[in-house]
Chains A and B, each alone.
Chain A
Amino acid sequence: MTPLLAHIEGIGFWTRGLPSWNAAVVHASAGTLVADAPSRPSPQLLPANERRRAPETVAVALEVAMAACHDAGREPSTLPSVFASTHGDLGITDYMCATLADEPRSLSPTRFHNSVHNAAAGYWTIGTGAMAAASAISAREASFAQGLLDALAHLANGDEAVLLVAYDGQASGPLARMAPSDGLLGGALVLSRQAAAGRPQLSVQLVQRHGDRDASGPLATLAAANAMAPMLPLFDLLARGNGSARVVAGPDHDLLVEVTGAEAAHG
């Protein structure tokens, strides 16, 4: 296939100890963590009462999405969006299944509507007033790669720019052994068709999978136990500058992602 191209206008990142893309870039070169980092993000997009009550997966998704839009200087309401999550909110799934086993008629309506896989996408479009298309997808360890392909397909079909958001949270209860995921991790990219001054370009190709995918970068090592960790080789690459990385795209395929033009890397 011909590689798909995109320009990275903005990056958002959050994990415990690294509450911003700046902090992630510093960590990638110096190995430091932010000492007083909060244990969960506090996305300003939500009204104060909802900010506290929102599931942590929603909080991290909104935080990195907004950070990426700010970085890009894009008005969030104008962008179509793709939200990728391996498991959605595992804490809510645990609650739902435990309550159904115990007292099904007491199920919380709020927890139920927060249980949909597109909860983060829903809060995002409501909070920003975005009426463009929003998707929510899952593809197990290939969730980020498949989300990236959909985002690139948006650009190839005429959208000027698109927001890609990827996140997973903490597993809990008996489900944790079947769907393991630790910590809280989110990454977001604003991708565009037009070159942006000083911003890196991505070239993405679906290739046959083979054994030498490198997940030994500092970010990939730090958050290795989170279900969205397969996206981290790309974020390690972006923190480093130019080069290429392989991101798992399915049982048989990887995405070969090449980053160029990152000399004036921001962050």
Chain B
Amino acid sequence: MPPLAIRAYTATSAVGRGREALAVALRDSRSGLRRNDFGTAPLDCWIGRVDGLEDLPLPGPFSRWDSRNNRLAWLALNQDGIPEAIAAMIERHGADRVAVVVGTSTSSIGATEDAYANLDDGAFPADLARADVHTPHSLGEFVQHATGLRGPAITVATACSSSAKVFAQAARLIAAGLADAALVGGVDTLCGSVLFGFNSLQLVAAEPCRPFDAGRSGLSLGEAGGFAVLERAQPGDAGLQLRGYGESSDAHHMSSPHPDGLGAQLAMRDALARAGIDAGEVGYLNLHGTATPANDSIEAAAVARLFPDSLHASSTKGWTGHTLGAAGIVESVIALIALELGQLPGTLNSSAPDPACGPQIRFQPQRVDIDYAMNNSFGFGGNNCSLVFGRA
């Protein structure tokens, strides 16, 4: 595929606001997980919560979209030069030619849950009787209005692969001539649906998650938001680029992965092929690595089948928790940090490797310059996406 330049990129999660906070937390092995203090009667588990959202209502003109999720979108949108990069895209191409492609799993459903908990004679209470937050596209529509971008605007909701697939979708839109640039990203926030939903599937750990550890017992849920500004690469460009994407379906089960990781392998192979590189050229792979017993061993086996022993692969869920629809963008930002700084994260909280893990799965960080970084995001319904990033 023609490479896409990454003009700005950012992530905000439980470890802090913006890319620098994330890079420092990764370097210092400082986790953002804490005991669950979300909602009334919280489950006994650990979460990755973004501080301060309660006190950050959206500015007046955007109040009809006010929700925890859109607050985090706004917070994340205003970091790391994203507004300046958007302004530059509008200047260069016109607002009609810049697309908004964002991913989420639950969008603003936390606001819908709040409305149900506070019904006023069977109807939504006045402060939550705002249709703009009670629909999946609440995120895409808010971002579109908050940025003034007027190209195609869409919310991708394929569970935990959502904000990885936005890169693929934006690349297709730009290649098809429907846009010249795109703001991509994703936001997911803690809410009852995901905490009690994953609990109902018995996938939530009582302790902080330990990806790929022999004693892992499940995931820690988190919230995060992140964005990247993509533009068709120009001759003479220097800097980070999206080089490849691969998407696939497991065609196996709604909530458990294909036992042989066939879908995962297909997505990774497709991303490498589109990037035109061999598996051996990838320096860092951010794994989906949720820390549930089945998912990790299947992903580890799929990675071992494709990559040489020299690959440094890790899961960073121990820092942020599993941020669901935002995992794709947050972990793409981590892959880009690895590429930019040569700082390859280890796997926080994990110490005893599962025998299923090949030598690619690393628990310790490493400092080494690399040419390509990759990110895996896999979602419910067997929906997979892998991305390859490189440098011009």
Contact = CB atoms under 8 A, between A and B. Distances in A.
A-B interaction: yes
Interface string A62-103: 000000000000000100100000111000010011101100
Interface stretch (B151-159, B211-219, B308-316): B151-159
Contact of A105 (B169, B173, B196): B196
Interface in A146-161: 146, 149-150, 152-154, 156-157
B34 interface: no
Given A118-B157, A139-B155, A174-B123, A1 B177 contact: yes
Contact of B116 (A97, A117, A118, A250): A97
Interface string A118-130: 1101110110111
B200 A178 contact: no
A177 interface: yes
Contact of A153 (B117, B176, B196): B176
Given A138-B155, A174-B122, A105 B137 contact: no
Contacts of B173: 149-150, 153
Contacts, number: 226
B266 to A, nearest CB: 6
Given A133-B247, A135-B169, A153-B173, A1 B178 contact: yes
A113 B379 CA distance: 11
Contact of B135 (A96, A133, A135, A179): A179
B115 A109 contact: no
Interface in B240-278: 247-255, 262-263, 266
Interface in A189-240: 206
Contact of B117 (A4, A100, A122, A138): A100
A177 B135 CA distance: 12
Given A93-B112, A100-B117, A139 B172 contact: no
Contacts of A23: none
Of A101, A112, A116, most buried by chain B (CB within 10 Å of CB) is A116
Interface stretch (B10-18, B281-289, B380-388): B380-388
B165 interface: yes
B136 A100 contact: no
A137 B193 contact: no
A2 B58 CA distance: 38
B81 interface: no
Given A101-B113, A113-B254, A135-B156, A154 B134 contact: no
Interface residues on A, range: 35 or more
Contacts of B113: 96-97, 100-101
Given A113-B255, A146-B154, 15 more contacts: A113-B254, A116-B381, A118-B381, A121-B383, A131-B248, A131-B250, A132-B247, A133-B248, A139-B140, A143-B137, A150-B173, A156-B177, A178-B124, A250-B152, A250-B153
22 contacts: A1-B178, A97-B115, A107-B200, A109-B200, A115-B197, A119-B254, A131-B249, A134-B158, A135-B165, A135-B169, A138-B135, A138-B136, A139-B140, A143-B137, A146-B152, A149-B173, A154-B172, A174-B119, A175-B112, A175-B115, A206-B152, A206-B178
Interface of B: 1, 41, 96, 105, 109, 112-113, 115-117, 119, 122-124, 129-131, 134-137, 140-141, 144, 150, 152-159, 165, 168-169, 171-173, 175-178, 192-193, 196-201, 247-255, 262-263, 266, 379-383
Interface of A: 1-2, 4, 77, 80, 86-88, 93, 96-98, 100-101, 104-105, 107-109, 112-119, 121-123, 125-126, 128-140, 142-143, 146, 149-150, 152-154, 156-157, 174-175, 177-179, 206, 249-253
